[in-house]
Amino acid sequence: MSAISETAPAPAASRAGGGIGQSMRDSLVIARRNLIRMARIPEMIIFGLIQPIMFVVLFSYVFGGSMMIGGSTSPAEYRNFLMAGIFAQTVTFATAGAGAGIADDMHKGLIDRFRSLPMARGAVLTGRTLADLVQTTLTLLVLAVVALLVGWRTHENIGKVLGGFALLLLLGYAFSWIGALIGLSVRTPEAATSGGLIWLFPVTFISNAFVPTENMASWLQPIAEWNPFSATVQACRVLFGNPGVSPSDAWPMVHPVWASLIWSLLILVVFRTLAVRKYRQAAV
């Protein structure tokens, strides 16, 4: 009995003294677990690909001939204008999946099992969001291939193009922490899915993703131009060499790359802090 009592505190000590390295190892273990789960349920990936592909096809061929971009109503011009918005919408809509996944783990009691293990408190959430980032990367890759097939083209060097995709993934990862907070705050996965989508529609549509902001009502233009989503879309258009660079003098539109980085990092820091705090409160 004495031997047991002497060795029992070891997990707690390991948890306390593991530091950043231990936290990263724990996060990668959780990420691996979620990736294996995704691989065993391929319909999760397939259904995640269908929606953005539908958006590409519908917006390109249904609205392509009626939109004026840079004084031209050419469908090809609109497709080049559109794709940055579709890419950004795709990475942000993954937020709903992140929230639903965490809510599902909470509902099934899996999170409680993780809490009993000697692991860093934030590792469960970090691992989940990292796994979602891998899935988002795969979705973005497939979507880029589809975009090329329907006529989307870039006009900058490969370094800038990859930089644009990096900004998209950073925005998606930052938004996934909003989904994590929502997933921890609701009782069911269904509520997490609804809560994860309802706020995304105004964020994505009150932006420069699908139409130029100068075509919006005057009172709506500043909202769209200072939207974090718009900054990333604008940055991607600049880095991809696509049309639609806004003549607006709003700072995020003049310096979209910096605006995208600042917004994404700010969202990441704020919502990761809130999500981890929520997780710790729920663990008490």
Percentage of residues of the chain with pLDDT beyond 70? 84
Residue 217 pLDDT > 60: yes
pLDDT value of residue 8: 38
* Residue of higher predicted confidence among 112 and 17: 112
Share of the chain above pLDDT 90, in %: 30
The pTM (predicted TM-score) of the whole model is 0.85
Q: Is residue 275 part of a domain?
A: yes
Residue 75 lies in a domain: yes
Residue 274 forms part of a structural domain: yes
Mean pLDDT for the chain overall: 81
Average pLDDT over residues 122-138: 87
What pLDDT is recorded for position 103?
A: 81
Residue 13 lies in a domain: no
Query: Quick one: pLDDT at residue 255?
Result: 92
240: domain range?
20-283
pLDDT tens by residue, 68-95: 666 556 667 788 888 999 999 999 988 8
Is residue 191 a part of any domain in this protein? yes
Residue 269, pLDDT > 90, answer: yes
Residue 79 lies in a domain: yes
In a domain, 238, yes or no: yes
Q: Measured between alpha carbons, how far is residue 257 from residues 52, 165, 231 in Å? A: 24, 12, 7
Residue 245 lies in a domain: yes
Q: Which residue has the higher pLDDT, 57 or 13?
A: 57
> In this predicted structure, what is the pLDDT of residue 7?
38
In total, how many domains does the chain have? 1
